[in-house]
Amino acid sequence: MPLDLVTLRCLRDNYAYLLHGPAGTVLIDAPEAMPVLTELGARGWTLDAILLTHHHDDHIQAVPDIVAATGARVIGAAADAHRLPPLDQSVAPGDVVEILGETAFVIDVSGHTIGHVAFHFPQSGMAFTADSLMAMGCGRLFEGDPAMMWDSLSRLNALPGPTLICSGHDYCTANGAFALSVDPDNPALQDRLTAIAEARSSCAPATLDEERATNPFLRVADLRGPLGMEEATDAQVFARLRAMKDDF
């Protein structure tokens, strides 16, 4: 049976995620303690572990309070251990984490930061990508470069199409507006933005197939011509799009 997924709004526009199954409950990223602890209490769930994607404060700052309240163990990237809360288990890209009765694969998605990882749960069809692949967008390149981020997005784009992409923020408005500015004749994008507006809801999580159809950073092959970059590589087109989004 697939694990149950609960999406939690935290801070101003962050997401945290609870995954629950017969073997327990885990949290992916810890922006804020109160929404997490309130949800756990309301559902009568005990938190077993926290999976951390990267070191930015808005993804880790609530770890001490949540650990103090729940005793959960903390799992994060060895490459980021010096700037993460104390880890009970360090992982590296290519590792697997046996958790909740499933095997989670650790994927290197550096670019937004160096050492950023994603967690892919293939049995339940979910990937927790935080600030790498995002709904209709991707994270800013604070530490990595465009080639690095393109490699990371390509790894995520190789996952099965029905995989649910669980990203780290609700940037629907800004990402959707930029996507429409560079891909205005895309009917899938138009439909997605209409559905979001009518439902007055978030654009995440969404399937990888939906991101492939609407996310400009996964549509570089289709946007090469409109950008006048017919001879450019995919990585070069991505770099142009990322620079355009930074100035949007």
145 annotated as a binding-site residue: no
169 annotated as a binding-site residue: yes
Q: What is the DSSP letter of 169?
A: B
H/E element holding 133?
strand 133-134
Q: What is the DSSP letter of 109?
A: -
Distances (CA, A) of 77 to 93, 169, 194: 8, 20, 38
Which phi-psi region, left, alpha or beta, contains residue 147 (left: φ > 0; alpha: ψ -120 to 50)? alpha
Distance separating alpha carbons of residues 173 and 192, to the nearest angstrom: 12
Distances (CA, A) of 189 to 85, 218, 245: 39, 13, 17
123: its two tokens: 């049995």
Beta bridge partners of 50: 27, 74
By C-alpha distance, which of 161, 129, 134 is closest to 242? Answer: 134
131 annotated as a binding-site residue: yes
Euclidean distance between the first and the last CA atom of the chain, given in angstroms as a whole number? 43
48 annotated as a binding-site residue: no
20 annotated as a binding-site residue: no
Cis status of the peptide bond prior to 205, with omega within 30 of 0:
yes
**Environment class of residue 71 by beta-carbon count within 10 Å: exposed (0-12), middle (13-18) or buried (19+)?**
exposed
Annotated binding site: 54, 56, 58-59, 112, 131, 169
Task: Report the binding-site residues for Zn(2+).
Answer: 54, 56, 58-59, 112, 131, 169
